Amino acid sequence: MKKQVSQTISACSFYLRNINQISRFLPRPTKERVVNAIITSRLDYCNALLYGTSAVNIARLQRIQNTAARLIMRSPRSDSATPLLRELNWLPIVCRVDFKLLVFTYKAMHNDPPVYLCELVCPYQPTRTLRSANNNMLEVKRTRTKAGDCSFAVTAASLWNNLPTVIKTCDNLTSFKRLLKTHFFRIAY
């Protein structure tokens, strides 16, 4: 993933420099739209594949997001980016990766998913009667390798099982996303 992250950072840095040159002529809402359209979309592209990647790669992508937040808020580099991200209502990169994986999981469980996703997301069915049988949990597949632990079948189930029951029992995708973002926002900030 190092090459993919490096290419993403290179493209984002190029566009951030160009946006910075015209930023003083743009009002804040316009800067937000431009940054969301160009930078955030690149950070979110295929970011579900980043689950389990090194902390160095995540930190590099987080620096780009922090730079984008500082550009929008016209804040110096010495200021902390955490309050800026909170004010912009942006999740950190790690939470964005988990968010996307959980949205894929929700869609695989509730919408009409492709057959291959149905095979990867299996509801937990205990062999005997347990209280956890009604908690809307998924079966976590066992693996023997680090790559296996980062597969969709394992990560989706483990992330899903760690969610509060209120979020897991949402009846539509919009309310699920809203509750999930609020949950991650509380964790991150």
Short-list 93, 80, 101, 77, CA closest to 5: 93
Amino acid at 3: K
For residue 105, the enclosing domain spans 96-188
101 and 184 in a single domain? The answer is: yes
Domain end among 45, 65, 90? 90
The reported pLDDT for the residue numbered 150 is: 80
Residues 153 and 74 grouped into a single domain: no
Kindly state the average pLDDT of the residues 26-46: 94
Q: Looking at 35, 65, 90, which one is the last position of a domain?
A: 90
The verdict on 102 and 172 lying in the same domain is yes
Q: Identify whether residues 13 and 80 lie together within a single domain.
A: yes
Tell me the pLDDT band of 114, cut-offs 50, 70 and 90.
confident
Confidence of residue 135 (pLDDT cuts 50, 70, 90): low
- Indicate whether 132 pLDDT > 60: no
Which ranges of the chain would DSSP assign to H, the alpha helix? 2-22, 28-35, 41-44, 55-73, 82-88, 93-110, 115-120, 146-149, 152-161, 165-168, 173-188
Task: Give pLDDT, residue 111.
Answer: 76
Check whether residue 85 and residue 100 sit in a common domain.
Answer: no
- In whole angstroms, give the CA distance from residue 149 to residue 46: 18
